């Protein structure tokens, strides 16, 4: 072998070694198509900022606390809408009681402390709760069309406060449901 052949082998071997050593660093810089999943997170946490201590037994006109959070892993800054809804035992199309909007940077987290209370009255003859309003972070929403009937199977007056995540679509210039929702069940005490 002559000197020129040794040089070619040395250069080729050096390039291979450099690529092997640099591969972990390059994988952080170069985004390969389909290499990572793009998604959003939506969560509620209890008053201690943990996945416990959620309000459950609710009394009228008392304040309860929890946290609402969004995590963005879409690869771009996203504009979100969270629709706050309430349902009883019979699912139906529900209108939002509140809308919360937030811009969340890529790989960012957004959280909002929530304080809420319900104004309601128990009707003993009908065995149901008649709602008047929901106050969320000092904003009151009318709930006069909402009731919760006694659930004899589970022995309670149960309602579900839930949150739907919507994502702004630049193409249609509107919010679209992002297939994420989370909620908590509440027992309306009398």
Query: pLDDT tens across 115-156, in order?
Result: 999 999 999 999 999 999 999 999 999 999 999 999 999 999
Question: What dihedral angle (degrees, nearest 10) is formed by the CA atoms of 48, 53, 58, 63?
Answer: 0
Q: Compute the average pLDDT of residues 83-112.
A: 89
How far apart, in whole angstroms, are the C-alpha atoms of residue 126 and residue 149? 8
The pLDDT assigned to 8 comes to 78
Instruction: Give me the DSSP letters along 90-104.
Output: S------SEEEEEEE
Report the domain count for the chain: 2
Q: Is there a single domain that holds both residue 46 and residue 131? A: yes
Q: Is there a single domain that holds both residue 1 and residue 68? A: no
Q: Is there a single domain that holds both residue 112 and residue 176? A: yes
Closest among 93, 99, 92 to 163, alpha carbons compared:
99
Higher pLDDT, 37 or 29: 37
Q: Is there a single domain that holds both residue 22 and residue 45? A: no
Q: Is there a single domain that holds both residue 44 and residue 26? A: no
The beta-strand segments (E) located in 39-93 are: 39-45, 57-58, 64-73, 78-87
User: Which residue range is the domain that position 165 belongs to?
Assistant: 39-188
Q: Is there a single domain that holds both residue 8 and residue 96? A: no
Q: Is there a single domain that holds both residue 96 and residue 184? A: yes
Q: Is there a single domain that holds both residue 77 and residue 120? A: yes
**How sure is the predictor about 9, in pLDDT bands with cuts at 50, 70 and 90?**
confident
Q: Is there a single domain that holds both residue 14 and residue 69? A: no
- Can you state the percent helix, strand and coil of the chain, rounding each to 5? 15, 50, 35
Q: Is there a single domain that holds both residue 77 and residue 128? A: yes
**How sure is the predictor about 26, in pLDDT bands with cuts at 50, 70 and 90?**
low
Q: Is there a single domain that holds both residue 94 and residue 172? A: yes
pTM over 0.85: no
Closest among 91, 77, 84 to 42, alpha carbons compared:
84
């Amino acid at each position: 072998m002559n000197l020129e052949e040794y040089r070619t082998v040395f250069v080729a071997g050096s390039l291979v070694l450099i690529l092997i050593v640099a591969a972990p660093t390059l994988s952080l810089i170069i985004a390969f198509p389909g290499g990572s999943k793009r998604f959003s997170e939506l969560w509620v946490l209890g008053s201690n900022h943990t996945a416990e201590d959620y309000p459950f037994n609710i009394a009228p006109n008392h304040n309860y606390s929890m946290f609402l959070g969004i995590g963005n892993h879409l690869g771009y800054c996203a504009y979100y809408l969270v629709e706050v809804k309430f349902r009883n035992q019979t699912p139906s199309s529900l209108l939002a009681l509140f809308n919360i909007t937030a811009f969340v940077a890529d790989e960012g987290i957004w959280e909002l402390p929530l304080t809420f209370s319900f104004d309601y009255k128990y009707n003993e003859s009908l065995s149901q709760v008649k709602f008047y309003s929901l106050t969320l972070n000092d904003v009151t929403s009318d709930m006069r069309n909402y009731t919760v009937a006694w659930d004899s199977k589970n022995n309670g007056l149960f309602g579900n406060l839930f949150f739907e995540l919507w994502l702004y679509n630049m193409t249609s210039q509107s919010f679209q449901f992002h297939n994420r929702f989370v909620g908590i069940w509440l027992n309306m005490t009398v």
